[in-house]
A and B are shown apart, each in its own frame.
Chain A
Amino acid sequence: MNEYKTLTRTEVSVGDKLPTADIDITTGLVVCGALATRDFEPVHHSKAAAQAVGLPDVFMNILTSQGLMTRFATDWSGPEAVVKSVDLRLGAPNIPGMLMTVSGEVTALDKDSGLVDLAVTGENNIWGMHMQGTVQLTLPKES
Protein backbone atom coordinates (compact mmCIF):
# COMPACT_ATOMS: atom_id res chain seq x y z
CA MET A 1 0.00 0.00 0.00
CA ASN A 2 2.70 2.42 1.07
CA GLU A 3 3.89 3.73 -2.29
CA TYR A 4 5.46 6.72 -0.56
CA LYS A 5 8.63 5.81 1.25
CA THR A 6 9.42 7.45 4.58
CA LEU A 7 12.96 7.26 5.92
CA THR A 8 13.25 5.57 9.28
CA ARG A 9 15.56 6.69 12.04
CA THR A 10 17.89 3.76 11.35
CA GLU A 11 18.30 4.76 7.71
CA VAL A 12 19.81 8.22 8.26
CA SER A 13 23.09 9.41 9.73
CA VAL A 14 24.57 12.72 10.72
CA GLY A 15 26.33 14.13 7.67
CA ASP A 16 23.84 12.75 5.14
CA LYS A 17 23.25 15.26 2.38
CA LEU A 18 19.74 15.96 1.12
CA PRO A 19 19.22 16.04 -2.66
CA THR A 20 19.52 19.65 -3.77
CA ALA A 21 16.53 21.36 -5.35
CA ASP A 22 16.61 24.15 -7.92
CA ILE A 23 13.61 26.45 -7.69
CA ASP A 24 12.95 29.02 -10.41
CA ILE A 25 11.80 32.24 -8.80
CA THR A 26 9.09 33.45 -11.16
CA THR A 27 6.56 36.26 -10.80
CA GLY A 28 3.99 33.46 -10.64
CA LEU A 29 5.67 31.78 -7.69
CA VAL A 30 6.16 35.05 -5.80
CA VAL A 31 2.64 36.37 -6.37
CA CYS A 32 0.80 33.07 -6.10
CA GLY A 33 2.87 32.04 -3.07
CA ALA A 34 1.81 35.26 -1.35
CA LEU A 35 -1.80 34.56 -2.33
CA ALA A 36 -1.67 30.94 -1.11
CA THR A 37 -0.40 32.14 2.26
CA ARG A 38 -2.98 34.98 2.34
CA ASP A 39 -0.21 37.56 2.53
CA PHE A 40 -1.64 40.50 0.64
CA GLU A 41 1.10 42.99 1.47
CA PRO A 42 1.43 44.96 -1.79
CA VAL A 43 5.22 44.43 -2.02
CA HIS A 44 4.53 40.77 -2.86
CA HIS A 45 2.16 41.40 -5.77
CA SER A 46 2.74 44.97 -6.95
CA LYS A 47 6.00 45.81 -8.66
CA ALA A 48 5.42 49.52 -8.06
CA ALA A 49 5.03 48.91 -4.31
CA ALA A 50 8.21 46.79 -4.28
CA GLN A 51 10.13 49.48 -6.15
CA ALA A 52 8.91 52.08 -3.67
CA VAL A 53 10.80 50.20 -0.94
CA GLY A 54 13.94 49.95 -3.05
CA LEU A 55 13.73 46.55 -4.73
CA PRO A 56 13.62 46.01 -8.49
CA ASP A 57 10.55 43.76 -8.47
CA VAL A 58 8.07 41.91 -6.27
CA PHE A 59 9.81 39.69 -3.72
CA MET A 60 8.99 36.38 -2.07
CA ASN A 61 7.14 36.56 1.25
CA ILE A 62 8.43 34.76 4.32
CA LEU A 63 5.57 32.25 4.47
CA THR A 64 6.46 31.02 0.98
CA SER A 65 10.11 30.60 1.98
CA GLN A 66 8.94 28.66 5.04
CA GLY A 67 6.72 26.51 2.84
CA LEU A 68 9.54 25.77 0.40
CA MET A 69 11.92 24.91 3.23
CA THR A 70 9.42 22.50 4.78
CA ARG A 71 8.70 20.93 1.39
CA PHE A 72 12.42 20.45 0.82
CA ALA A 73 12.71 18.60 4.15
CA THR A 74 9.65 16.36 3.71
CA ASP A 75 10.50 15.63 0.05
CA TRP A 76 13.59 13.99 1.53
CA SER A 77 12.08 12.36 4.61
CA GLY A 78 8.80 11.13 3.16
CA PRO A 79 5.26 11.79 4.40
CA GLU A 80 5.25 9.93 7.72
CA ALA A 81 7.86 12.25 9.18
CA VAL A 82 6.36 14.80 11.58
CA VAL A 83 7.64 18.35 11.28
CA LYS A 84 8.48 19.70 14.74
CA SER A 85 9.98 23.10 13.98
CA VAL A 86 11.28 25.39 11.24
CA ASP A 87 13.78 28.00 12.38
CA LEU A 88 14.57 30.34 9.53
CA ARG A 89 17.04 33.16 9.16
CA LEU A 90 16.25 35.49 6.32
CA GLY A 91 18.85 36.85 3.92
CA ALA A 92 18.65 38.43 0.50
CA PRO A 93 15.25 38.73 -1.21
CA ASN A 94 14.09 36.29 -3.88
CA ILE A 95 13.11 38.26 -6.97
CA PRO A 96 11.62 36.96 -10.27
CA GLY A 97 14.37 35.87 -12.65
CA MET A 98 16.51 34.32 -9.93
CA LEU A 99 17.21 30.65 -9.40
CA MET A 100 17.26 29.43 -5.80
CA THR A 101 19.23 26.30 -5.02
CA VAL A 102 18.22 24.60 -1.79
CA SER A 103 20.64 22.23 -0.08
CA GLY A 104 20.65 20.51 3.26
CA GLU A 105 22.42 18.13 5.59
CA VAL A 106 21.57 16.04 8.64
CA THR A 107 23.29 17.75 11.58
CA ALA A 108 21.82 15.87 14.55
CA LEU A 109 19.96 12.63 15.12
CA ASP A 110 18.47 11.11 18.26
CA LYS A 111 17.91 7.45 17.43
CA ASP A 112 15.64 6.98 20.47
CA SER A 113 13.15 9.76 19.78
CA GLY A 114 13.72 9.83 16.00
CA LEU A 115 14.30 13.59 16.12
CA VAL A 116 16.56 14.82 13.29
CA ASP A 117 17.94 18.30 12.70
CA LEU A 118 18.42 19.34 9.10
CA ALA A 119 20.53 22.38 8.28
CA VAL A 120 18.94 23.85 5.17
CA THR A 121 20.20 26.69 2.99
CA GLY A 122 18.50 28.35 0.03
CA GLU A 123 20.82 30.47 -2.07
CA ASN A 124 19.82 32.45 -5.10
CA ASN A 125 22.16 32.92 -8.04
CA ILE A 126 22.16 36.71 -7.89
CA TRP A 127 22.34 37.85 -4.28
CA GLY A 128 23.34 34.69 -2.45
CA MET A 129 21.80 33.43 0.77
CA HIS A 130 18.03 33.84 0.85
CA MET A 131 17.20 31.54 3.73
CA GLN A 132 19.18 29.48 6.15
CA GLY A 133 17.93 27.48 9.04
CA THR A 134 17.06 24.29 10.80
CA VAL A 135 14.13 22.00 10.17
CA GLN A 136 13.40 19.45 12.89
CA LEU A 137 11.52 16.30 12.03
CA THR A 138 10.60 13.12 13.85
CA LEU A 139 11.24 10.01 11.80
CA PRO A 140 9.34 6.77 12.36
CA LYS A 141 10.94 3.68 13.91
CA GLU A 142 10.02 1.43 11.03
CA SER A 143 8.20 1.89 7.76
Chain B
Amino acid sequence: MTTDEQKAIESEIYAFIGQEVYPPTPAADDINEAMIRQWAEIMGDNNPAYLDKDWTANSFRGKTISPPAMMYVWGQEGFQVTKGRAPNAMSNLVSVFDKHGYTGVLGTNVKQEYFKEVSPGDNVTIEMIIDNISERKTTGRGTGYFFETLSTFTDQRGEKIGTQRFKVLKFIPQEQPSAAATEDKLDVPTRIASPRGHDNKWWWEACDDGKVLIQRCKSCQTLRHPPRPMCGECQSMEWDSIESTLDGEILSHTEIHHPKIPGYQYPLVCAVIKLAEGTNFVANIIGCSPSEVHIGMKVKGVLEQVDEKTMLPQFYPA
Protein backbone atom coordinates (compact mmCIF):
# COMPACT_ATOMS: atom_id res chain seq x y z
CA MET B 1 0.00 0.00 0.00
CA THR B 2 1.35 3.43 -0.89
CA THR B 3 1.67 6.23 1.62
CA ASP B 4 -1.14 8.13 -0.11
CA GLU B 5 -3.52 5.22 0.35
CA GLN B 6 -2.43 4.87 3.96
CA LYS B 7 -3.04 8.57 4.56
CA ALA B 8 -6.45 8.29 2.94
CA ILE B 9 -7.67 5.46 5.18
CA GLU B 10 -6.10 6.90 8.31
CA SER B 11 -7.70 10.28 7.83
CA GLU B 12 -11.06 8.50 7.67
CA ILE B 13 -10.66 5.97 10.49
CA TYR B 14 -9.00 8.17 13.10
CA ALA B 15 -11.98 10.53 12.89
CA PHE B 16 -13.98 7.75 14.63
CA ILE B 17 -11.94 7.88 17.84
CA GLY B 18 -14.16 9.00 20.69
CA GLN B 19 -17.39 8.50 18.75
CA GLU B 20 -20.35 6.97 20.51
CA VAL B 21 -21.43 3.49 19.40
CA TYR B 22 -24.28 3.21 21.89
CA PRO B 23 -25.53 6.20 23.87
CA PRO B 24 -26.42 5.21 27.46
CA THR B 25 -29.10 2.58 26.92
CA PRO B 26 -30.91 0.75 29.73
CA ALA B 27 -31.44 -2.98 29.12
CA ALA B 28 -34.95 -3.96 28.00
CA ASP B 29 -35.13 -6.46 30.86
CA ASP B 30 -33.98 -6.10 34.44
CA ILE B 31 -31.52 -8.71 35.65
CA ASN B 32 -33.62 -11.80 36.21
CA GLU B 33 -33.36 -15.36 37.42
CA ALA B 34 -34.69 -16.94 34.24
CA MET B 35 -31.83 -15.66 32.14
CA ILE B 36 -29.30 -16.38 34.87
CA ARG B 37 -30.59 -19.96 35.19
CA GLN B 38 -30.32 -20.52 31.46
CA TRP B 39 -26.79 -19.10 31.41
CA ALA B 40 -25.65 -21.10 34.46
CA GLU B 41 -27.09 -24.37 33.12
CA ILE B 42 -25.38 -23.99 29.77
CA MET B 43 -22.05 -22.84 31.23
CA GLY B 44 -22.22 -25.73 33.69
CA ASP B 45 -21.79 -23.20 36.49
CA ASN B 46 -23.17 -24.42 39.82
CA ASN B 47 -22.05 -21.38 41.80
CA PRO B 48 -24.80 -20.98 44.47
CA ALA B 49 -24.22 -17.21 44.53
CA TYR B 50 -26.23 -17.00 41.30
CA LEU B 51 -29.39 -18.94 42.08
CA ASP B 52 -29.43 -20.53 45.53
CA LYS B 53 -31.47 -18.13 47.68
CA ASP B 54 -31.23 -20.22 50.84
CA TRP B 55 -27.48 -20.31 50.62
CA THR B 56 -27.02 -16.65 49.68
CA ALA B 57 -29.30 -15.51 52.52
CA ASN B 58 -26.58 -16.68 54.88
CA SER B 59 -23.65 -15.61 52.73
CA PHE B 60 -21.95 -12.22 53.14
CA ARG B 61 -23.96 -10.91 50.19
CA GLY B 62 -27.36 -11.79 51.64
CA LYS B 63 -28.84 -12.18 48.15
CA THR B 64 -28.13 -13.76 44.78
CA ILE B 65 -26.02 -11.95 42.20
CA SER B 66 -25.81 -11.93 38.44
CA PRO B 67 -22.79 -13.84 37.09
CA PRO B 68 -20.20 -11.12 36.41
CA ALA B 69 -19.57 -12.52 32.93
CA MET B 70 -23.22 -11.72 32.07
CA MET B 71 -22.57 -7.96 32.37
CA TYR B 72 -22.60 -7.44 28.60
CA VAL B 73 -25.45 -9.90 28.06
CA TRP B 74 -28.23 -7.73 29.53
CA GLY B 75 -27.92 -5.04 26.90
CA GLN B 76 -27.52 -7.27 23.83
CA GLU B 77 -29.58 -6.29 20.83
CA GLY B 78 -31.35 -9.63 20.39
CA PHE B 79 -32.44 -11.83 17.53
CA GLN B 80 -32.96 -8.89 15.17
CA VAL B 81 -29.19 -8.86 14.54
CA THR B 82 -29.63 -11.89 12.27
CA LYS B 83 -31.22 -9.45 9.83
CA GLY B 84 -28.43 -6.91 10.26
CA ARG B 85 -27.60 -4.29 12.86
CA ALA B 86 -28.71 -0.69 12.82
CA PRO B 87 -25.87 1.52 11.58
CA ASN B 88 -23.75 3.08 14.32
CA ALA B 89 -20.23 4.42 14.67
CA MET B 90 -18.77 0.92 14.87
CA SER B 91 -20.53 -0.44 11.79
CA ASN B 92 -19.62 2.76 9.94
CA LEU B 93 -15.98 2.32 10.96
CA VAL B 94 -16.07 -1.30 9.80
CA SER B 95 -17.50 -0.16 6.46
CA VAL B 96 -14.59 2.26 6.00
CA PHE B 97 -12.12 -0.56 6.68
CA ASP B 98 -13.95 -2.88 4.29
CA LYS B 99 -14.00 -0.23 1.54
CA HIS B 100 -10.20 0.06 1.75
CA GLY B 101 -9.72 -3.72 1.56
CA TYR B 102 -9.36 -4.39 5.28
CA THR B 103 -12.15 -6.93 5.18
CA GLY B 104 -10.69 -9.41 7.67
CA VAL B 105 -12.06 -9.19 11.21
CA LEU B 106 -10.77 -10.84 14.34
CA GLY B 107 -11.68 -10.17 17.97
CA THR B 108 -8.35 -10.41 19.77
CA ASN B 109 -8.83 -9.28 23.39
CA VAL B 110 -11.64 -8.61 25.74
CA LYS B 111 -11.18 -7.32 29.25
CA GLN B 112 -14.00 -6.86 31.71
CA GLU B 113 -13.53 -5.19 35.06
CA TYR B 114 -16.19 -5.36 37.73
CA PHE B 115 -16.66 -2.67 40.35
CA LYS B 116 -19.97 -3.68 41.87
CA GLU B 117 -22.02 -6.87 42.04
CA VAL B 118 -25.60 -6.63 40.80
CA SER B 119 -28.67 -8.74 41.50
CA PRO B 120 -32.05 -9.67 40.06
CA GLY B 121 -34.19 -6.54 39.90
CA ASP B 122 -31.25 -4.28 39.04
CA ASN B 123 -31.02 -2.82 35.56
CA VAL B 124 -27.84 -2.49 33.52
CA THR B 125 -27.25 0.52 31.28
CA ILE B 126 -24.56 0.19 28.63
CA GLU B 127 -22.72 3.00 26.94
CA MET B 128 -20.08 2.29 24.29
CA ILE B 129 -17.53 4.44 22.50
CA ILE B 130 -14.70 3.79 20.06
CA ASP B 131 -11.85 4.43 22.44
CA ASN B 132 -8.74 4.06 20.33
CA ILE B 133 -7.40 2.89 16.97
CA SER B 134 -3.81 1.70 16.62
CA GLU B 135 -1.28 2.72 14.04
CA ARG B 136 -0.92 0.41 11.07
CA LYS B 137 0.44 -2.98 12.20
CA THR B 138 1.81 -5.99 10.43
CA THR B 139 0.38 -9.11 12.05
CA GLY B 140 0.47 -12.82 11.37
CA ARG B 141 -2.98 -12.48 9.82
CA GLY B 142 -2.04 -9.59 7.56
CA THR B 143 -1.58 -5.83 7.71
CA GLY B 144 -4.23 -3.94 9.60
CA TYR B 145 -5.39 -1.79 12.49
CA PHE B 146 -6.61 -2.64 15.97
CA PHE B 147 -9.60 -0.69 17.20
CA GLU B 148 -10.86 -0.85 20.75
CA THR B 149 -14.32 -0.13 22.06
CA LEU B 150 -14.87 0.89 25.65
CA SER B 151 -18.21 -0.01 27.21
CA THR B 152 -19.24 1.38 30.56
CA PHE B 153 -21.97 -0.28 32.59
CA THR B 154 -24.04 1.44 35.26
CA ASP B 155 -27.00 0.35 37.34
CA GLN B 156 -30.36 2.11 37.78
CA ARG B 157 -28.83 4.34 40.49
CA GLY B 158 -26.17 5.53 38.07
CA GLU B 159 -23.45 3.65 39.95
CA LYS B 160 -20.69 2.14 37.84
CA ILE B 161 -20.88 -1.68 37.67
CA GLY B 162 -17.94 -2.25 35.37
CA THR B 163 -16.21 -1.66 32.07
CA GLN B 164 -15.36 -3.73 29.03
CA ARG B 165 -12.56 -3.15 26.56
CA PHE B 166 -12.90 -5.11 23.33
CA LYS B 167 -10.09 -5.11 20.81
CA VAL B 168 -10.68 -6.03 17.18
CA LEU B 169 -8.16 -6.42 14.35
CA LYS B 170 -9.34 -5.28 10.91
CA PHE B 171 -6.89 -6.53 8.33
CA ILE B 172 -6.24 -7.24 4.67
CA PRO B 173 -6.71 -11.02 4.49
CA GLN B 174 -3.78 -12.89 3.06
CA GLU B 175 -5.96 -15.53 1.51
CA GLN B 176 -9.57 -15.79 0.49
CA PRO B 177 -11.58 -16.54 3.62
CA SER B 178 -13.61 -19.20 1.84
CA ALA B 179 -10.50 -21.36 1.33
CA ALA B 180 -11.14 -23.55 4.36
CA ALA B 181 -14.89 -23.84 3.89
CA THR B 182 -14.69 -27.17 2.09
CA GLU B 183 -13.33 -28.82 5.21
CA ASP B 184 -16.47 -30.27 6.69
CA LYS B 185 -15.09 -32.57 9.31
CA LEU B 186 -12.51 -32.13 12.03
CA ASP B 187 -9.55 -34.46 11.88
CA VAL B 188 -8.32 -35.16 15.37
CA PRO B 189 -4.57 -34.66 15.19
CA THR B 190 -2.30 -37.58 15.93
CA ARG B 191 1.36 -37.72 16.88
CA ILE B 192 3.96 -37.05 14.25
CA ALA B 193 4.05 -40.20 12.14
CA SER B 194 6.90 -42.59 12.85
CA PRO B 195 9.69 -42.17 10.28
CA ARG B 196 9.78 -45.42 8.31
CA GLY B 197 12.80 -45.31 6.05
CA HIS B 198 14.95 -48.00 4.50
CA ASP B 199 17.01 -48.56 7.66
CA ASN B 200 14.38 -48.27 10.41
CA LYS B 201 11.08 -49.38 8.94
CA TRP B 202 11.61 -52.90 10.30
CA TRP B 203 11.88 -51.54 13.84
CA TRP B 204 8.53 -49.72 13.69
CA GLU B 205 6.88 -52.69 12.02
CA ALA B 206 8.03 -54.86 14.93
CA CYS B 207 6.36 -52.33 17.28
CA ASP B 208 3.15 -52.73 15.29
CA ASP B 209 3.49 -56.48 15.95
CA GLY B 210 3.97 -55.90 19.68
CA LYS B 211 7.75 -56.23 19.97
CA VAL B 212 10.44 -53.71 20.86
CA LEU B 213 13.66 -54.90 19.22
CA ILE B 214 17.29 -53.94 19.61
CA GLN B 215 19.55 -54.31 16.61
CA ARG B 216 22.54 -56.64 17.07
CA CYS B 217 25.67 -56.96 14.96
CA LYS B 218 25.93 -60.50 13.59
CA SER B 219 29.67 -60.26 13.47
CA CYS B 220 30.63 -58.89 16.92
CA GLN B 221 27.26 -59.14 18.74
CA THR B 222 27.30 -55.43 19.73
CA LEU B 223 23.83 -54.03 20.32
CA ARG B 224 22.85 -50.66 18.79
CA HIS B 225 19.92 -48.29 18.85
CA PRO B 226 18.48 -46.37 17.02
CA PRO B 227 18.62 -48.65 13.99
CA ARG B 228 21.33 -47.99 11.43
CA PRO B 229 22.94 -50.02 8.65
CA MET B 230 26.49 -50.46 9.97
CA CYS B 231 28.04 -51.63 13.24
CA GLY B 232 30.01 -48.82 14.84
CA GLU B 233 32.46 -51.33 16.38
CA CYS B 234 33.39 -53.63 13.52
CA GLN B 235 31.76 -51.98 10.49
CA SER B 236 29.82 -55.10 9.65
CA MET B 237 26.57 -54.56 7.82
CA GLU B 238 25.17 -57.93 8.84
CA TRP B 239 22.72 -57.72 11.69
CA ASP B 240 19.83 -59.37 13.48
CA SER B 241 17.93 -58.30 16.59
CA ILE B 242 16.88 -59.29 20.09
CA GLU B 243 13.68 -58.38 21.92
CA SER B 244 14.07 -55.89 24.78
CA THR B 245 12.62 -56.61 28.22
CA LEU B 246 12.00 -52.82 28.48
CA ASP B 247 13.51 -52.69 31.93
CA GLY B 248 15.45 -49.47 32.25
CA GLU B 249 16.83 -46.60 34.26
CA ILE B 250 16.53 -42.89 33.53
CA LEU B 251 19.80 -41.22 32.50
CA SER B 252 18.32 -37.80 31.71
CA HIS B 253 14.88 -36.23 31.35
CA THR B 254 13.04 -33.05 30.43
CA GLU B 255 9.44 -31.84 30.39
CA ILE B 256 8.08 -30.23 27.24
CA HIS B 257 5.83 -27.27 28.13
CA HIS B 258 5.64 -24.99 25.16
CA PRO B 259 4.55 -24.88 22.44
CA LYS B 260 1.97 -27.58 23.05
CA ILE B 261 1.61 -29.71 19.97
CA PRO B 262 -1.91 -30.99 19.26
CA GLY B 263 -2.01 -34.80 19.28
CA TYR B 264 0.28 -35.22 22.29
CA GLN B 265 -0.79 -35.85 25.87
CA TYR B 266 0.39 -33.37 28.49
CA PRO B 267 2.23 -33.26 30.81
CA LEU B 268 4.83 -34.58 28.38
CA VAL B 269 8.04 -35.93 29.88
CA CYS B 270 10.82 -37.19 27.60
CA ALA B 271 13.69 -39.22 28.99
CA VAL B 272 16.84 -40.96 27.88
CA ILE B 273 16.58 -44.45 29.36
CA LYS B 274 19.37 -46.98 29.72
CA LEU B 275 17.82 -50.34 28.93
CA ALA B 276 18.88 -53.46 30.82
CA GLU B 277 20.37 -54.76 27.57
CA GLY B 278 22.74 -51.77 27.56
CA THR B 279 21.49 -49.52 24.78
CA ASN B 280 19.93 -46.10 25.33
CA PHE B 281 16.39 -45.32 24.35
CA VAL B 282 14.37 -42.07 24.17
CA ALA B 283 10.76 -42.36 25.31
CA ASN B 284 8.01 -40.70 27.31
CA ILE B 285 7.65 -41.28 31.04
CA ILE B 286 4.02 -41.62 32.09
CA GLY B 287 2.11 -42.95 35.06
CA CYS B 288 3.60 -40.48 37.55
CA SER B 289 3.79 -36.74 38.09
CA PRO B 290 6.60 -35.00 36.18
CA SER B 291 8.01 -33.85 39.53
CA GLU B 292 8.58 -37.48 40.54
CA VAL B 293 10.78 -38.23 37.53
CA HIS B 294 14.47 -38.30 38.43
CA ILE B 295 17.82 -39.48 37.19
CA GLY B 296 18.44 -43.07 38.27
CA MET B 297 14.72 -43.85 38.48
CA LYS B 298 13.89 -47.44 37.51
CA VAL B 299 11.29 -47.65 34.77
CA LYS B 300 9.42 -50.36 32.87
CA GLY B 301 8.24 -49.97 29.30
CA VAL B 302 4.95 -51.13 27.85
CA LEU B 303 4.16 -51.09 24.16
CA GLU B 304 0.94 -49.13 23.80
CA GLN B 305 -1.24 -47.83 21.02
CA VAL B 306 -0.94 -44.06 21.54
CA ASP B 307 -3.09 -43.04 18.60
CA GLU B 308 -4.84 -44.71 15.69
CA LYS B 309 -1.63 -45.29 13.74
CA THR B 310 1.11 -45.48 16.35
CA MET B 311 2.31 -48.27 18.64
CA LEU B 312 4.92 -46.79 20.97
CA PRO B 313 6.87 -48.00 24.02
CA GLN B 314 5.77 -45.88 27.01
CA PHE B 315 7.68 -46.07 30.28
CA TYR B 316 6.16 -46.21 33.76
CA PRO B 317 7.80 -46.11 37.18
CA ALA B 318 9.00 -49.69 37.80
Given contacts A54-B179, A55-B180, A71-B43, contact A66 B69 (CB under 8 A): yes
Q: Which residues of A contact B79 (CB under 8 A)?
A: 40
Determine the residue in chain A with the shortest Cβ distance to B165. A87
Contact indicator A85/B55 (Cβ below 8 Å): no
Contact indicator B42/A36 (Cβ below 8 Å): yes
CB distance from B233 to the nearest CB of A (A): 45
Cα–Cα distance between A52 and B68 once the two chains are bound (Å) = 33
- Residues facing A in B15-40 (CB within 8 A) are 35, 38-39
CB distance from A122 to the nearest CB of B (A): 12
Cα–Cα distance between A140 and B49 once the two chains are bound (Å) = 14
Contact indicator B110/A90 (Cβ below 8 Å): yes
Q: Does A32 contact B (CB under 8 A)?
A: yes
- Residues facing B in A30-81 (CB within 8 A) are 32-33, 35-42, 51-57, 62-64, 66-71, 74-75, 79-80
Contact indicator B177/A54 (Cβ below 8 Å): yes
Contact indicator A127/B262 (Cβ below 8 Å): yes
Q: Which residues of B contact A18 (CB under 8 A)?
A: none
Cα–Cα distance between A29 and B110 once the two chains are bound (Å) = 21
Q: Which residues of B contact A12 (CB under 8 A)?
A: none
Picked from B60, B76, B114, the residue with its CB within 8 Å of the CB of A38 is B76
Contact indicator B55/A4 (Cβ below 8 Å): yes
- Residues facing A in B109-123 (CB within 8 A) are 109-114, 117
Q: Which residues of B contact A96 (CB under 8 A)?
A: 186
Given contacts A38-B78, A85-B112, A85-B114, contact A56 B184 (CB under 8 A): yes
Contact indicator B68/A86 (Cβ below 8 Å): yes
Cα–Cα distance between A40 and B160 once the two chains are bound (Å) = 27
Interface flags for B175-216 (1: CB within 8 Å of A; 0: not) read 001111101111111000000000000000000000000000
Determine the residue in chain B with the shortest Cβ distance to A70. B69
- Interface of chain B: mostly helix, strand, loop or mixed: mixed
Contact indicator B73/A63 (Cβ below 8 Å): yes
Cα–Cα distance between A127 and B262 once the two chains are bound (Å) = 7
Determine the residue in chain B with the shortest Cβ distance to A50. B181
Cα–Cα distance between A139 and B67 once the two chains are bound (Å) = 17
Given contacts A53-B177, A125-B262, contact A79 B48 (CB under 8 A): yes
Contact indicator A67/B69 (Cβ below 8 Å): yes
- Interface of chain A: mostly helix, strand, loop or mixed: mixed
Q: Does A19 contact B (CB under 8 A)?
A: no
Cα–Cα distance between A54 and B180 once the two chains are bound (Å) = 5
The range of chain B's interface size is 35 or more
Contact indicator B59/A79 (Cβ below 8 Å): yes
Q: Does B239 contact A (CB under 8 A)?
A: no
Contact indicator A125/B111 (Cβ below 8 Å): no
- Residues facing A in B57-88 (CB within 8 A) are 58-60, 67-70, 72-73, 76-82
Picked from A29, A40, A126, the residue with its CB within 8 Å of the CB of B81 is A40
Cα–Cα distance between A13 and B68 once the two chains are bound (Å) = 24
Q: Which residues of B contact A97 (CB under 8 A)?
A: 185-186, 188
Picked from B45, B59, B109, the residue with its CB within 8 Å of the CB of A74 is B45
Cα–Cα distance between A130 and B241 once the two chains are bound (Å) = 46
Cα–Cα distance between A129 and B261 once the two chains are bound (Å) = 10
Q: Which residues of B contact A37 (CB under 8 A)?
A: 39, 70, 72-73, 76
Q: Does A128 contact B (CB under 8 A)?
A: yes
CB distance from A35 to the nearest CB of B (A): 8
- Residues facing A in B85-122 (CB within 8 A) are 106-114, 117
CB distance from A59 to the nearest CB of B (A): 11
Cα–Cα distance between A81 and B29 once the two chains are bound (Å) = 27
Cα–Cα distance between A128 and B262 once the two chains are bound (Å) = 6
Picked from B48, B82, B113, B186, the residue with its CB within 8 Å of the CB of A40 is B82
Interface flags for B237-262 (1: CB within 8 Å of A; 0: not) read 00000000000000000000001101
Q: Which residues of B are interface residues toward A (Cβ below 8 A)?
A: 35, 38-39, 41-49, 55, 58-60, 67-70, 72-73, 76-82, 106-114, 117, 177-181, 183-189, 259-260, 262-263
